Amino acid sequence: MSKVAKKIYLKFKNKSIEFIYPRRCISCESIFEFSEEEFICFKCSEKFKNLKSKRCQKCGRVINRDGKCRICNEKDNIYFDKGFSVFIYKGEIRESVKRFKYSGLYRYGDVYGKIMRDFAKSNIEMKYDYITGVPLHISKFISRGYNQSDILARFLGKAFGIESKSLLKRVKNTKPQNNMDRLNRRKNIKNAFKMKKNAEVKGKDILIVDDIFTTGATINECAKVLKRAGARKVDFFAICATEED
C-alpha cells in the first residue's frame, strides 16, 4: 500500500470509529465536534484549567498558606522527595477520573496524558531515568483490563523521551481505600509492593505516576521500596490530589 493510500485508509478508519463511538467531553460526556487537540467542551473547559494556588512544598497538594500541608508536616518517614498534581480531586474532575479508573474508559488516558504533559512542561524538571506507574494487583488488572497509571506513565515517557519501565509489582491485594482514614490506609498498603525481578534502580532518578493522590500512603510505600533498592530520587506526579482537610 502506498503512503497516500495508507493515509486515506487511516483517515477513513478513524472517522468510521468516531461515527460508531463518537468522542465525548471527558467532564460531562456530551457528544460534540472534536478537533485533534480538543477533549473538553466549552462549558466544562473552565473547570479543567491549571490551578495557580499555593501548594504544599513537599507533596504539591493545594493548601491555603505557604509551606507544607498538615499531612507532610506530621508524617514521619516520607520516602518520596517531591510531588506534583494538576487538579483538586473534587466535582466534575473527580467524577471524570473515577470513570477513567473504574468504567473502562481507558481512552481518557490520552486526554489526561496531554493535560499532565502540558503541566509538566511548565512545572516539573523532567530529568528522570525512569517513569513508572503504580502497579495494580493481578486480580484487579484482570477485572479492569488495564492499569490507568501505566497508560499515563507510557504517555509521559513518550512525550519527554524518558524510558517508561515497570519497576514494581503489587504482591498484596489490598482492600479499597476510599473510605479509610490515614492510619488504616498505611496499614492496608504496608508491604504491598516489591521490586520486579531484574529491575535495577541503584543511583537512578524515578518519577512515579498515579491518578489520585490522597493521604500519600500508596505513593510513599512505592517510594520506600524504590529507595531501599538504591534509587537516588523518587518524585511522583498525579492527575489530581485531595485538598487539605
- Helices 148-160/108-123 angle, 10° precision: 50
Its pTM stands at: 0.84
Q: E strands along 161-232, which residues?
A: 163-164, 168-170, 193-195, 205-213
Q: Walk me through the domains of the chain, giving residue ranges and CATH numbers.
A: 1-47 (no CATH), 50-241 (3.40.50.2020)
- Helices 91-102/108-123 angle, 10° precision: 120
Extract the C-alpha cell encoding 230: 538504591
d(CA 222, CA 224): 5
pLDDT for 133-151, tens place per residue?
999 999 999 989 999 999 9
Amino acid at 113: G
pLDDT for 11-52, tens place per residue?
443 444 344 456 778 878 776 554 444 677 777 777 777 666
| Spacing of C-alpha 106 from chain mean position | 12
pLDDT for 76-95, tens place per residue?
789 999 999 999 999 889 99
Order of all β-strands in the sheet with 130-133: 82-88, 233-241, 205-213, 130-133, 163-164
Tracing cell 479499597 back to the chain, one arrives at 176
